Structure 1
Amino acid sequence: MKIIYKTEIIPEIEEIIDLYNFSDYFPIADKNDIERIKKMHHNANIVVTAWDNNKLVGLARSISDFCYCCYLSDLCVRDDYKGNGIGKELVNITKTMAGDECKLILQSSPNAIGFYSTIGMEQIDSAFIIKRSH
């Protein structure tokens, strides 16, 4: 398996939703919010994708100021591709694109906390949230 990483494209919405459907990433209700998913990806300033031939197998979506912080909002790998280093490489490419001046911040889903520790990320307790209204 040869995975190709791309930074210059945003996949078609159908490809993104297919990736979400075959991973444990997204809450079920959000998978059907096509307009929100389109905006999420088109408004991001760093999108890194992983491809096995023409199949989208991983995606990292981030927002960055490129000088202080980069919020890695989404990291998603297709379930049957996990364990192959794809998630780690998506994080590495994101960090490279954000630059050495940036710290990388993310909010983990409960089932992925162990993964982030294994790739050298430090867990912090000092985060807060105001949830969206819809």
Structure 2
Amino acid sequence: MPISYQVNPPLAASDFVDILRRSTLGERRPLHDADAMEQMFRHGNVYIGAYDGDQLVGIARVMTDFVFTSYLSDLAVDEKYQQQGIGKQLIREVQKAIPKAKIILLAAPAAEGYYPKIGMQHHGHCFTLAPAENLV
């Protein structure tokens, strides 16, 4: 059965956590903190789900203003389904859902080589700032 894609499918935070666990992205998310995961899930603007039948096998979570920028904060594909073009198609589906906005993401160290291969451009002027709670 081919993979199908849905914009803002009916998901719960537990579905989001489950797909992160089944991908390598879960290693870099606070999966042990149910409240944080619930808030992360609730505050995304757009979700694209990748499905093999009824099974969620990939997700793109986006925060966007819909006209200028879209931050692709999570791109996760079940490890059993990787290397099939699902991540690339999830990004295309984000572009279709939010056609006017530029997509921005921070690559996981292991994925830095992936994004140029699918047509994304590296931008060396990104900066990050730790949460205020980390300040001493």
TM-score normalised over the length of structure 1: 0.90
Give 1:20's aligned amino acid: L
Once the two structures are superposed, residues 5-40 of structure 1 have per-residue CA deviations (whole angstroms, 9 ceiling, x without a partner) of 111324223322221222110236611112221221
CA contact (8 A) 1:47 1:59 kept: yes
| Structure 2 Cα separation of the partners of residues 29 and 98 of structure 1 | 25
Percent identity, please.
30
Query: What is the aligned partner in structure 2 of residue 30 from structure 1?
Result: 30
| Structure 2 Cα separation of the partners of residues 69 and 117 of structure 1 | 19
| Structure 1 Cα separation of the partners of residues 93 and 29 of structure 2 | 29
CA contact (8 A) 2:63 2:73 kept: yes
Unmatched segments (≥5 aa) in structure 2:
none
CA contact (8 A) 2:7 2:97 kept: no
| Pairing of 1:108-119 with structure 2 (within 5 A) | 108-119=107-118
Q: Shift of residue 4 of structure 1? A: 1.5
| Structure 2 Cα separation of the partners of residues 52 and 33 of structure 1 | 28
TM-score normalised over the length of structure 2: 0.89
Once the two structures are superposed, residues 83-111 of structure 1 have per-residue CA deviations (whole angstroms, 9 ceiling, x without a partner) of 11110011011112122x32110000011
**3-state SS, counterpart of residue 74 of structure 1:** strand
Q: CA RMSD in A?
A: 1.7
Q: Shift of residue 50 of structure 1? A: 0.6
Give 1:7's aligned amino acid: V
| Structure 2 Cα separation of the partners of residues 28 and 107 of structure 1 | 12
CA contact (8 A) 1:41 1:47 kept: no
CA contact (8 A) 1:22 1:79 kept: yes
CA contact (8 A) 1:10 1:41 kept: no
Query: What is the aligned partner in structure 2 of residue 83 from structure 1?
Result: 83
| Structure 2 Cα separation of the partners of residues 10 and 32 of structure 1 | 23
